[in-house]
Chain A
Amino acid sequence: MPTNTSAVTFRRTRSKASCKAWLLATALAAVCAAPALAQQAPIKVGFMTVRSGALAAGGKQMEQGLEYCLAERGGKMGGRPVELITVDTAGQPATTKTRAQELVERVRVDAIIGPLAAFEALAIDDYIRQVGVPVISPSAAAEDLTQRKQNPWFVRAVGTSAQANHALGEYAAKDLKLKRVVTIGDDFAFGHEATAGFQRAFEDNGGKVVKKLWPPLNVADYGSYISQIPSDVDAVYAAFAGGNGLRFLQQYAEYGAPAKVIAQMTTVDEGILKSMGKEAVGVISSGWYTATQDVPGNKEFAAGIRAKYGADPGYYTAGAYEACAFLDAAVKAVDGKVEDKQALMKALREVKLDKGPFGEVALDPYGNPIMTVTIRRTEEKDGRLQNVVLKTYPKVSQFWTYDPKAFLADPVYSRDYPPARHLGN
């Protein structure tokens, strides 16, 4: 992991040797043309990842995405070298807050990429408001971060929990012609919001969600839940994160797979697909990123990641890359003058990318990207499992086809909202 070692060594040495160099540089700057040199001072980017505990797999993929992005740019953004300071939040909100303080108060970073989990992002939400540091989320998908609790210092490089699931809901009803569906999802906000988005679009297009199952996040066994799925439904909608998709699909296959599976994107994400077996074949899912999607810039990206790390990029890899690309674009827009945080933040909110893993991307007024969503099917190709694109929905926003004002006037998506009107039918 060259990125983090370099960051760590740099920080270790700064107190000793580099300190002198830095003093020298400052002295020189006073004598010589000061502005020109200031442009050459590194941009400090804080990166909050997870290296310990349950979420470490996602953290590692994020590190790869970010490392790849920086290497591609020769370690520079807007002509200035980038100093990356990587911290490990351990997936704990309290630790995340302390790490954020370390980045802001001790290292004095110019911007932060991270953190990974939604509850981590929420834990530092008020803090970043107070200190005014631009934060770009590479993965945290909680709806309200760019909806009812939007934060002037926060933009998101990935979609909301429900963003791609609206599309899947419509596709399931209109194209797959499914009528009755059972949902099963992780019992936490990400699972709730994803399922709610699916259910809303599915039922608005004539489908019926007849049962909703919520296994706890750390449930030992899905057997008792799978046994509750009636054999006469058209499909099961699965919304799992982390390793739970792997466990669910494996156990589901062991129980004879009573109905076809449609899924939220992280259930069969490329990051976990590499650990899966035949049980994942045929799962239809939706997402804003698929390693095989044909959007400008993705072919190079996916091939590059595969060549460098030997695995297809997924949710976390692409999200971190995109967050880095956002920052790069914003730094360019302000001519490298990242010290003006207001200007940098303004530039971040106006970011438009015409290529990259997500293809063409622009942010909506709430700081959430409008991007291509694809429907894909998991297939075995070239000796490995891949998600193959079936249909593309261009320019999907977090509000889908709904009116943003009315959308925001409703309560946030949850386990019970929108209410399921067809339970038991």
Chain B
Amino acid sequence: MAFWVSQTLNALALGGLLFMLASGFSLIFGLMRVANLAHGALFMLGAYVGLALVKAGFGFWTAAATTAVLVGVLGGVIERTLLRHLAGRTLPQVLLTLGLAFIIADACLMTWGGDPMRLPPPPELAGAVRFGDVVFPRYRLFVIFASAAVALGLWLLVERTRAGAMIRAAVDDVGMARAIGVSASTLFTAVFCLGTALAGLGGVIGGPILSVYPSLDQDMLPLALLVVILGGAGSLAGAFVGAYIIGFIYTFGQVLVPDLAYVILFLPMVAVLAVAPQGLFGRRLG
């Protein structure tokens, strides 16, 4: 019993973390049809910047918020100066975002060195809680709730606000949205900022669990892609459900069939895509 409870909690925490990672990617893809392959690198950059701020004496929460803003601004700059010219051209976008991922990763290595570093959780969330036989880290409980809060916030933003209505309109039909007076240009930049800010925030939130090290980007990018594809690209609900499905499959798969630890994530994905190529919640993509 304790086994199932603690593994379920593990799965929820991992799923939450994956949602933090994948939601920004999904948001950007949904609106702009840009597969931002620098997303993993921005996540890692967030973790490094957050750590640097914590080391400089800022509190964890200040560091997380500042990092989100900084990475978001960087995202905005990338969108305005580079991506802007490549609308609708998949291959140049791939080349650009992968090139940026190389640059960001190597810059992190140059700035912070290759030593893996730990990002301590805020003191009020250190340690473990114990109920019955189950011991579970307090910080992971926080991640479970924080990711749910982020999901709720995003949902409210998209479904209940004017900006959200514009985003939804532009996702459905950019041309028509423009025609009725939505400034797609501002909207694109805003969403790109938001998406990259989420990556940066995810990096700081994930830091205490994952620790901060070079090649964190390469470890995380495939997971983000998996979540998005399984759930359906561009759909927040898809990213949410996809993240928790992956969290559960990963956690229980590694425990119950350790021999398949490496393929456990990819087999269900192949199965899902073979049946529903657009993912669980996705709409048909060209």
Do the two shown chains form a genuine complex with each other?
yes
Query: How far, in whole Å, are A224 and B15 apart by their CA atoms in the complex?
Result: 13
How many inter-chain contacts with C-beta < 8 Å in the A-B complex?
115
B213-255 contacts to A (CB < 8 Å): 213-215, 218-220, 223, 250-252, 254-255
**Contacting A247 at CB < 8 Å: which of B115, B211, B220, B255?**
B211
Which one, B5-13, B22-30, B158-166, B174-182, is touching chain A?
Answer: B5-13
- Size class of A's contact patch? 35 or more
Contact A57-B115, Cβ < 8 Å, known A214-B258, A224-B254: yes
Asked if B118 lies at the interface with its beta carbon under 8 angstroms from chain A, I say yes
Query: How far, in whole Å, are A246 and B208 apart by their CA atoms in the complex?
Result: 11
| Chain A, interface SS category | loop
Q: CB-CB < 8 A to B209: which residues of A? A: 221, 223, 251
Q: CB-CB < 8 A to A251: which residues of B? A: 137, 209
Asked if A393 lies at the interface with its beta carbon under 8 angstroms from chain B, I say no
Contact A223-B214, Cβ < 8 Å, known A57-B115, A254-B139, A275-B117: no
User: Is A227 a contact of B10 with CB atoms below 8 Å?
Assistant: yes
Query: How far, in whole Å, are A60 and B113 apart by their CA atoms in the complex?
Result: 9
Asked if B3 lies at the interface with its beta carbon under 8 angstroms from chain A, I say yes
User: Is A275 a contact of B139 with CB atoms below 8 Å?
Assistant: no
Name the distance in Å between A408's Cβ and chain B's nearest Cβ: 29
Asked if B82 lies at the interface with its beta carbon under 8 angstroms from chain A, I say no
Name the distance in Å between B64's Cβ and chain A's nearest Cβ: 19
A159-214 contacts to B (CB < 8 Å): 187, 213-214
Q: CB-CB < 8 A to B39: which residues of A? A: none
Q: CB-CB < 8 A to A214: which residues of B? A: 258, 261
Q: CB-CB < 8 A to A213: which residues of B? A: 258
Q: CB-CB < 8 A to B118: which residues of A? A: 246, 250, 275-277
Residue on B nearest A311 in the bound complex, by CB: B115
Q: CB-CB < 8 A to B223: which residues of A? A: 220
Asked if A242 lies at the interface with its beta carbon under 8 angstroms from chain B, I say yes
User: Is A227 a contact of B116 with CB atoms below 8 Å?
Assistant: no
Asked if B210 lies at the interface with its beta carbon under 8 angstroms from chain A, I say yes
Q: CB-CB < 8 A to B157: which residues of A? A: none
Asked if A218 lies at the interface with its beta carbon under 8 angstroms from chain B, I say yes
A45-65 contacts to B (CB < 8 Å): 52-60
Asked if B171 lies at the interface with its beta carbon under 8 angstroms from chain A, I say no
User: Is A59 a contact of B7 with CB atoms below 8 Å?
Assistant: no
Asked if A243 lies at the interface with its beta carbon under 8 angstroms from chain B, I say yes
Query: How far, in whole Å, are A227 and B256 apart by their CA atoms in the complex?
Result: 13
Q: CB-CB < 8 A to B258: which residues of A? A: 213-214
Query: How far, in whole Å, are A215 and B135 apart by their CA atoms in the complex?
Result: 20
Q: CB-CB < 8 A to B219: which residues of A? A: 218, 220
User: Is A56 a contact of B251 with CB atoms below 8 Å?
Assistant: no
User: Is A247 a contact of B116 with CB atoms below 8 Å?
Assistant: yes
Q: CB-CB < 8 A to A54: which residues of B? A: 114, 213-215, 218
Q: Digitize B199-216: 1 where CB-to-A-CB distance is under 8 Å, 0 elsewhere.
A: 000000000011101110
User: Is B10 a contact of A223 with CB atoms below 8 Å?
Assistant: yes
**Contacting B128 at CB < 8 Å: which of A57, A228, A254?**
A254
Asked if B130 lies at the interface with its beta carbon under 8 angstroms from chain A, I say yes
Asked if B79 lies at the interface with its beta carbon under 8 angstroms from chain A, I say no
Asked if B59 lies at the interface with its beta carbon under 8 angstroms from chain A, I say no
Query: How far, in whole Å, are A220 and B250 apart by their CA atoms in the complex?
Result: 10
Asked if A404 lies at the interface with its beta carbon under 8 angstroms from chain B, I say no
Contact A272-B116, Cβ < 8 Å, known A243-B213, A256-B135: yes
Asked if A74 lies at the interface with its beta carbon under 8 angstroms from chain B, I say no
Asked if A255 lies at the interface with its beta carbon under 8 angstroms from chain B, I say yes
User: Is A255 a contact of B215 with CB atoms below 8 Å?
Assistant: no
Asked if A127 lies at the interface with its beta carbon under 8 angstroms from chain B, I say no
Name the distance in Å between B23's Cβ and chain A's nearest Cβ: 17
Asked if A394 lies at the interface with its beta carbon under 8 angstroms from chain B, I say no
Asked if B98 lies at the interface with its beta carbon under 8 angstroms from chain A, I say no
User: Is B10 a contact of A246 with CB atoms below 8 Å?
Assistant: no
Residue on B nearest A254 in the bound complex, by CB: B137
Contact A224-B251, Cβ < 8 Å, known A187-B261, A277-B120: yes
**Contacting A275 at CB < 8 Å: which of B7, B116, B250?**
B116
User: Known contacts A187-B261, A223-B137; can you find 11 more A-B pairs with CB under 8 A?
Assistant: A52-B109, A57-B115, A60-B114, A220-B220, A221-B251, A247-B116, A247-B211, A250-B118, A251-B137, A255-B135, A275-B118
- Which 9 A-B residue pairs are closest in the complex by CB-CB distance? A243-B116, A56-B114, A57-B114, A254-B137, A54-B215, A256-B135, A223-B10, A243-B213, A224-B251
A-B contact pairs, 10 of them (CB 8 A): A56-B114, A213-B258, A214-B258, A214-B261, A216-B262, A220-B210, A223-B137, A227-B7, A251-B137, A272-B116
Which B residues form the contact surface with A (CB < 8 A)? Answer: 3, 6-7, 10-11, 13-14, 17, 106, 109, 113-118, 120, 127-128, 130, 135-137, 139-140, 209-211, 213-215, 218-220, 223, 250-252, 254-255, 258, 261-262
